[in-house]
A and B are shown apart, each in its own frame.
Chain A
Amino acid sequence: MTALGKLFRTTAFKLTLVYLTVFALFAVFLLGYFAWNTRRLVTEQITQTVDAEIGGLSEQYNLGGIRRLVIIVDTRARRPGSSLYLVTTNAGEALAGNVGALPPGLLEKPGWTETEYRRLEESEGPEHHALARVIQLPGGFRLLVGRDLDERERLYDVVLSAGKWSAAIVVVLGLAGGFFVARRVLRRVDAMTETTRSIMEGDLGERLPVAGSNDELDRLAVNLNAMLDRIEALMHGLKEVSDNIAHDLKTPLTRLHNRCEEALRTARSENEYRSALEATIEESEGLIRTFNALLMIARAESGQARDNMSEFDAAEVAAGVVELYEPLAEEKGLSLMVEAPSPAPVHGSRELVSQALANLVDNAIKYAASVEKADAESQVITVKAASEGDRVLLSVTDQGPGIPASQRERVVERFVRLDQSRSVPGSGLGLSLVAAVARLHGGELKFEDNALEPEATGPNATGLKAIIALPRGGPQGAG
């Protein structure tokens, strides 16, 4: 496709052509109307003049007979710029006037006529046009009075040629403008096409150019860029999941496989087979749990779980989760407290938020129990639910080892387990699910140092505060 061909195909150019055609038609119509009207006016004026003269001359004839008429006509005919006059006998013999040649038979028909003629003084040369009226005078004489039409035609020509020129100028300027606009738009669209092509070829990091003029193309580019951001994030997530599956599901699967092989190879007694099988079942149950957790996270992240959302009280959720975990905490020598003044309305999935909070409490208990402190007895885990402005905060505060600030971004990623926590059992998916649930509800998961809490200033004032911040529901909230 040549550059010019491409230009002709652009929308901007096609639009220009359409506008141009419409405008030109309109201009032609206007000029035509103007020309036609001018002509009509001139004709009307001529008619009036001729009528007036005929009236005057007939009167003179009535008063003074043919002689007087001839004298007056002669006088008038000699004036410069005069009308056309011709007086003839009934037989057609000219008695007076300034008209030479006329088409034959013209004088026979009284009334208006448009005719060609030659003046008396010019025997050769081009014939002129005239508008004339012939009347029959009493006594058999005929009188013709007319006006030359050259003036009218000249005026008409002037208007016509003005029209032609202006139409030509309009077309040329319009085309040039169209070219200019189309070229400009085309260049930006070309740039966008170029970028999309390189994106299609796999470079998802590319972004469409934004001119900064905030016009339609800019808004389109901004929106497309936002869409690309989203797609890139999703692709990244997908890639991460498949990498995770490759690394973290293959490992236990290999272990399972090896265990079975080993049992087949070495086991002798029924008891040995039994214990190998039991270990296999345990391993596969762990795999299923991991798989379920992955599905759940994917589900929460894709937003599918939005269908089953309703209004619930986060304070009740906090109390429920604490009630579920309280015996476990006590068994581990920890005290689990709840501070949840009702109501803390949230619109969402009670089940998922419960599970997210349960994961946080589970972690707090696990890691608190992992710390060997002389006074482990005094470790306190506090679960809070409170409305704060337009948000509801669900927090779990512990006095465990905490998470270094530099690692807090990383711990919510799937299968990420910090080196210092490898000794504690876990799948590395707990916090990923919490973060996914928070995002699903339009909220977030944050971590703070427990020490930042003003009321926690005891000797054990270290630890972690994990906060699920959710948008406040209920009639006062944004929903």
Chain B
Amino acid sequence: MRLLIIEDDRDAADYIVRAFRETGHVADHAADGEEGLALALDGQYDVLIVDRMLPKRDGLSVIGTLREKGVQTPVLILSALGQVDDRVKGLRAGGDDYLPKPYSFSELLARVEALARRRGGRGDEMVYRVADLELDRLSHQVSRGKEEIVLQPREFRLLEYLMKHAGQVVTRTMLLENVWDYHFDPQTNVIDVHISRLRSKIDKGHAQPLLQTVRGAGYMIRDSAR
């Protein structure tokens, strides 16, 4: 993945750039809005990571200008303003995802990978397959091997989201936002219980577990045999 990080806080930017490079990605850095806009316009990036408050040109304006010029690169907005209406503003300006500060790198990485993947385009497939697990998005049928699995509607959407991002780490907040459409942090970790229910339905009795917990980050569905 080629990433551009537009962030004026030198320490934070260095940390992100280093962390992305360690995970095998190419990351460029711009320290203000103008420089970021110029780089984003001619560089071929997979995802842009844009801070909201930037010197010279603020983050939302950078995104707006890019979209006006027809640049459709997915954008993740980083912001110290974490409230619902700030998120709405950011997404309306053309952002694709929104991550309030402070965030953990694993969360950022998971979201950036999800955005890059979306661009790659698994979203349009009608049937998702991971190993012998199959999910038909049209008929809402799920099966593993020859066995049909009956899921509640929410469980279906949970599995659908996980399978759409198969092979990628999906965080709890990503699940809350995308499957439940809640943007708050429940006091108790309710997602874990939903996951273990789903796991008991798709993995129970099979030698190869597909739904895995990634410690300190989230969950991933993956064909571990490959």
Bound CA span A359–B186, Å: 7
Bound CA span A426–B186, Å: 11
| Nearest-Cβ distance from residue A380 to partner chain B, whole angstroms | 19
Taken residue by residue from 173 to 189, chain B's Cβ proximity to chain A (1 for < 8 Å, 0 otherwise) reads as 00000001011111110
Given that A327-B194, A328-B193 are contacting pairs, would A358 and B84 also be in contact in the complex, using a CB cutoff of 8 Å? no
| Nearest-Cβ distance from residue A286 to partner chain B, whole angstroms | 11
| Nearest-Cβ distance from residue B102 to partner chain A, whole angstroms | 6
Are B84 and A292 closer than 8 Å at their CB atoms? no
Given that A307-B85, A308-B84, A365-B188 are contacting pairs, would A351 and B197 also be in contact in the complex, using a CB cutoff of 8 Å? no
Contact of B180 among A288, A320, A365 (CB under 8 A): A320
Bound CA span A281–B88, Å: 29
* Chain A hits for B84, CB < 8 A: 305, 308, 349, 351-352
| Nearest-Cβ distance from residue B12 to partner chain A, whole angstroms | 15
Are A331 and B85 closer than 8 Å at their CB atoms? no
Given that A324-B190, A327-B190, A362-B188 are contacting pairs, would A305 and B83 also be in contact in the complex, using a CB cutoff of 8 Å? yes
Closest residue of chain A to B100 (Cβ to Cβ) is A292
Report if B154 contacts A (CB, 8 A): yes
Closest residue of chain A to B176 (Cβ to Cβ) is A324
Best-surrounded residue of B83, B100, B154 (most CB of chain A within 10 A): B83
Closest residue of chain A to B179 (Cβ to Cβ) is A324
Closest residue of chain A to B101 (Cβ to Cβ) is A288
Report if B209 contacts A (CB, 8 A): no
Report if B82 contacts A (CB, 8 A): yes
Bound CA span A75–B182, Å: 124
Q: In the complex, how many residues of chain B place their beta carbon closer than 8 angstroms to a beta carbon of chain A?
A: 21
Bound CA span A129–B218, Å: 121
Report if A446 contacts B (CB, 8 A): no
Taken residue by residue from 102 to 135, chain B's Cβ proximity to chain A (1 for < 8 Å, 0 otherwise) reads as 1010000000000000000000000000000000
Are A324 and B180 closer than 8 Å at their CB atoms? yes
Are B193 and A355 closer than 8 Å at their CB atoms? no
Are A308 and B190 closer than 8 Å at their CB atoms? no
Report if A257 contacts B (CB, 8 A): no
Bound CA span A426–B83, Å: 21
Contact of B187 among A281, A288, A430 (CB under 8 A): A430
* Chain A hits for B100, CB < 8 A: 292
* Chain B hits for A295, CB < 8 A: 82-83
Given that A324-B180, A351-B84 are contacting pairs, would A358 and B102 also be in contact in the complex, using a CB cutoff of 8 Å? no
Closest residue of chain A to B84 (Cβ to Cβ) is A351
Q: Size range of the interface on A?
A: 20 to 34
Are B182 and A324 closer than 8 Å at their CB atoms? yes
Are B82 and A324 closer than 8 Å at their CB atoms? no
Closest residue of chain B to A284 (Cβ to Cβ) is B102
Are A351 and B182 closer than 8 Å at their CB atoms? yes
Closest residue of chain B to A306 (Cβ to Cβ) is B85
Are A358 and B180 closer than 8 Å at their CB atoms? no
Best-surrounded residue of A299, A323, A327 (most CB of chain B within 10 A): A327
| Nearest-Cβ distance from residue B52 to partner chain A, whole angstroms | 16
Report if A289 contacts B (CB, 8 A): yes
| Nearest-Cβ distance from residue B174 to partner chain A, whole angstroms | 15
Report if A76 contacts B (CB, 8 A): no
Contact of A288 among B102, B186, B193, B194 (CB under 8 A): B102
* Chain A hits for B83, CB < 8 A: 295-296, 299, 305
Contact of B193 among A292, A327, A430 (CB under 8 A): A327
Taken residue by residue from 182 to 226, chain B's Cβ proximity to chain A (1 for < 8 Å, 0 otherwise) reads as 111111101001100100000000000000000000000000000
Given that A305-B85, A308-B88, A349-B84 are contacting pairs, would A292 and B187 also be in contact in the complex, using a CB cutoff of 8 Å? no
Bound CA span A101–B177, Å: 121
Are A426 and B85 closer than 8 Å at their CB atoms? no
Given that A295-B82, A296-B83, A323-B154 are contacting pairs, would A328 and B185 also be in contact in the complex, using a CB cutoff of 8 Å? no
Closest residue of chain B to A358 (Cβ to Cβ) is B186
| Nearest-Cβ distance from residue A412 to partner chain B, whole angstroms | 16
Binding site for A on B (CB under 8 A): 82-85, 88, 100, 102, 104, 154, 180, 182-188, 190, 193-194, 197
Kindly list the 6 A-B residue pairs having the minimum CB-CB distance in the complex, ordered from nearest: A327-B193, A355-B184, A308-B85, A362-B187, A328-B193, A328-B190
Other than A304-B85, A323-B154, give 7 A-B pairs with Cβ distance below 8 A. Answer: A292-B185, A305-B84, A308-B85, A324-B194, A327-B197, A355-B184, A362-B186
Q: List 9 A-B contacts (CB under 8 A).
A: A288-B102, A292-B82, A295-B83, A327-B193, A328-B190, A331-B193, A351-B84, A352-B84, A358-B186
